[in-house]
Amino acid sequence: MNKTYKKILTKSILFSLYSLFILNVSAKEGMWIPATLKAREADMKSMGLQIPVEQLFNDTGTGLNNAVVLFGKGCTGEIISPQGIVLTNHHCGYGTVQRLCGPGKDYFANGFAAKNKEEELPCAGLTVTFIRKMENITDKILFDVPDTLNDAARDTIVMNRIKMLETEYKKKTGLDATIKPYYQGNQYWILITETFKDIRLVLFPPNGIGNFGGDVENWVWPRHTGDFSVFRVYADKDNKPAEYNKDNVPYTAKQYFNINVSGYKEGDFTMVYGFPGTTDEYASAAKLKQVYSIYDPISIEARTIRLKIWMDNMTEKRDVFLQYTSKYAGVANGWKKWQGEVLGLKANNVTDKKNKYEIGFQNWANKYTKLPYAKNILPQINEQAKKVDSLIYLDQMNKETVMAIELIQQAAVLEKMRFCFRISKSDAELRDTLNKIATSTAGFYKNYDLKTDKKVFIKLMALYVKKCENKLPFYIQETFVHNILLADYKLSTKVTLKQVLGASTDKILEQACEVWANKIYDSSLLVSQERLNAFVAAITMADSTKMMADPAWKLYNEITTLTKQNIAPYLDYYYYNMRHLNRLYMKAQMEKETKKAFYPDANLTLRLSYGKVQGLKPENSKTYSYQTFLSDVIALDDSTSTIFKVPNKLKELYKTKNYGTWGQNGTIPVAFIASNHTSGGNSGSPVLNGKGELIGTNFDRAYEGTMSDYYFDMSRCRNISVDIRYTLFIIDKFCDAGWLIKEMNIKGIK
């Protein structure tokens, strides 16, 4: 481990273990529906809002909601020019850019910057979606629907009304219309949207900027990452959405963000406008216990193993790096976040606080006659949760171990092919159908390395067998335990599985799993595209048994069958019941606390949160900061590191102080933190000042504050953003793409 890595890892751990605090607490909990901001206006103005809330959201086309987009299927982006330039995070564009890479096109190592619009790269499958209008239609959905109506009957009524209203609004507006539930289904809003499908890559910094610090710095403060990328929306000649066409033109934006580069100071008002993904702020104590004692620990342990193997192989071979870098980022993001989540929930004693709240709720519910069902809600929630804890454990183990192995996942292809044999076809027709299925796997094999995956199999299956010894499926007991593990032990068949596993060290288990892996990876049809294609090319209607004999399919089939028969029905029933109980619980909480300003849990719809620029410091440190600089980045440079290696050009720009108009006191601001309530999906969100001007792009949260998906602690919860000046500096000076800046409206240049 190099010195820089050790230094940063130590810093990361300190930020993980020590309590964090702030001066002049001004964090603001809440992810507010933009159409309801009038109710928040007085509070927002008292904190520093300088514009009417109608400028943030309105239905006339003049609101800044028309400059915020759902980027892809899970990030946010912002329009920053009248010609449709979209700014979002580097990691939000990662998967798209990986698909654009190829021989001589390593955009992760070298970056990409178009010199003009003609060089912008089409991004197949990428979309951006605008929210043009939002309307509360709860009365149209829930009229004459009793709270306690069973969900089967309720769902039928609600879904029929949703379908009818969506059709009606589509005809009326000529746009897409989607109805979403809020407050656990106690409220419904319709979203009128417009989705553009011709999106092109404009600029992507190399990983030495856009992913600087990698997983070591992920989810911690301070951060030194230029986590941004630039795209452009294209439209047809009428400025309407259209599939990619070379004749399409840049989208003429109805609204775009003005950019302010005059800076900020601690205590300045900020807003984050975007699409937070999922939160569960009103969850019961029973649900939280499942999160930090079952879901998160299993995922953390299994992913630690998988990520280490991936990173070792990615570091060793550049080809493997390109195959796995996007997958790694996706898996690692949750892995690191859940570690902070568990730490934060425990450090804040959130379960104890929830239990205390629930005692008060129960005392109120026992006496409140207007909602007679309220007194039974929490007892039912607790009873239901206890019944499924063991099933949740097994299901999560299946997902994070066996079904996290790529070869086993890929066995779904054989399952799909197997169904084709049930339809009467000639051999030629069958081969044609199966060939299409085989051809569709090209994307998988392009980003698959057999040696890497085999190592993952050995480690994860050893973990699975060890952790699930009492509930191993029959196939695994027969194939692995009896035919491999017991054979190696040469013990009597009377020896119990528990005795064998109890006597087995981790090393012995892994050695046995290696034997198992050799059997599977030597013979499976799925180890390469070539082997799968060769099998399909010669297949006849009589060959279905060959697929069912495939060892990867057998393991896949055992786990999926176990899930379908013994896990999913019970968990589905549990989640079905909990949906009903959570809706009633949410309704009762709002009935109980009439003076509280409730906000709905995140559901990947447009929200606005607000707070202030606010720093953090570790308990046992004198270091307190709300901002990082290019000088900090340069200080971390390590030419031997894959994640702390600063590009030479960036070092030269720093050395010569060639900052253009973006510098501040002899350096460049890189990142800053504020007290806005954010979640997954807010990646790429615009961070605005009190005038609604862009000052940064949100990309992360502070480590212990990641529990804000369940509990918002004002002393710990912070969002982390790229300073817009660093973004413009990289575009202008590092990427030599000043032509893009000419499209933007920038204020505060000295």
pLDDT at res. 496 = 57
The pTM of the whole model exceeds 0.85 = yes
Lowest mean pLDDT among 170-179, 287-296, 508-517, 568-577: 508-517
pLDDT at res. 13 = 36
**Domain locations in the chain as residue ranges:** 3-127+197-281+599-747, 405-567
- Choosing from 16, 81, 683, 708, the catalytic residue is 683
* Stronger pLDDT, 23 or 440, i.e. the higher one: 440
566 vs 562: CA distance, rounded Å: 5
pLDDT tens for residues 372-384? 999 999 999 999 9
pLDDT at res. 695 = 98
Give the residue among 437, 474, 626 at the shortest CA–CA distance from 559: 474
Concatenate the DSSP letters of all residues of 67-129 into one string: GEEEETTTEEEEE-STT-EEEE-TTTSHHHHHHH-BTTB-HHHH-EE-SSGGGPEE-TT--EE
pLDDT tens for residues 667-682? 999 999 999 999 999 9
For the question of residue 675 being annotated catalytic, the response is no
Three-class secondary structure of residue 648 per DSSP: helix
Residue 640 above 60 pLDDT? yes
pLDDT at res. 716 = 85
Cβ–Cβ under 8 Å, residues 425 and 431: no
pLDDT tens for residues 81-96? 999 999 999 999 999 9
Token couple for 480? 């692995």
**Residue 747 identity:** K
- Three-state helix/strand/coil letters over 123-142: CCCCCEEEEEEEEECHHHHH
Residue 11 above 70 pLDDT? no
687 vs 729: CA distance, rounded Å: 18
Residue 500 above 80 pLDDT? no
For the question of residue 424 being annotated catalytic, the response is no
- Region 553-562: what's the mean pLDDT? 95
Lowest mean pLDDT among 55-69, 213-227, 616-630, 729-743: 616-630
pLDDT tens for residues 302-358? 999 999 999 999 999 999 999 998 899 889 989 999 998 998 898 889 999 999 999
pLDDT tens for residues 482-496? 777 766 654 444 555
pLDDT at res. 538 = 85
The percentage of residues in the chain with a pLDDT greater than 90, rounded to a whole number, is: 78
Q: How confident is the model at residue 49 (pLDDT cuts 50, 70, 90)?
A: very high
pLDDT at res. 1 = 42
pLDDT at res. 231 = 98
- Region 148-174: what's the mean pLDDT? 95
Q: How confident is the model at residue 539 (pLDDT cuts 50, 70, 90)?
A: confident
* Stronger pLDDT, 619 or 580, i.e. the higher one: 580
pLDDT at res. 23 = 35
Instruction: Kindly give, in sequence order, each residue whose CB lies less than 8 Å from that of residue 747, ignoring residues fewer than 6 positions away.
Output: 258, 259, 260, 261, 262, 693
Residue 466 above 70 pLDDT? yes
Give the residue among 55, 66, 626 at the shortest CA–CA distance from 44: 55
pLDDT at res. 370 = 94
CA 478 to chain CA centroid, Å, is 38
* Stronger pLDDT, 25 or 595, i.e. the higher one: 595
For the question of residue 715 being annotated catalytic, the response is no
pLDDT at res. 501 = 64
- Region 643-660: what's the mean pLDDT? 96
Residue 139 above 80 pLDDT? yes
pLDDT tens for residues 94-130? 999 999 998 899 999 999 999 999 999 999 999 999 9
pLDDT tens for residues 374-414? 999 999 999 999 999 999 999 999 999 999 999 999 999 99
Token couple for 98? 């990986």
Lowest mean pLDDT among 37-51, 148-162, 181-195, 539-553: 539-553
Q: How confident is the model at residue 5 (pLDDT cuts 50, 70, 90)?
A: very low
- Choosing from 198, 215, 227, 637, the catalytic residue is 227
Note the CATH architecture for domain 3-127+197-281+599-747. Answer: Beta Barrel (2.40)
Name the average pLDDT for the chain: 91
pLDDT tens for residues 211-270? 999 988 999 899 999 999 999 999 999 999 999 999 999 999 999 999 999 999 999 999
Concatenate the DSSP letters of all residues of 661-708 into one string: T--BTTB-EEEEEE-B---TT-TT-EEE-TTS-EEEEEEEE-GGGGGG
pLDDT at res. 2 = 46
Residue 450 above 70 pLDDT? yes
CA 378 to chain CA centroid, Å, is 30
**Does a cis peptide bond (omega within 30 degrees of 0) precede residue 618?**
no
- Choosing from 12, 90, 91, 326, the catalytic residue is 91
Cβ–Cβ under 8 Å, residues 92 and 151: no
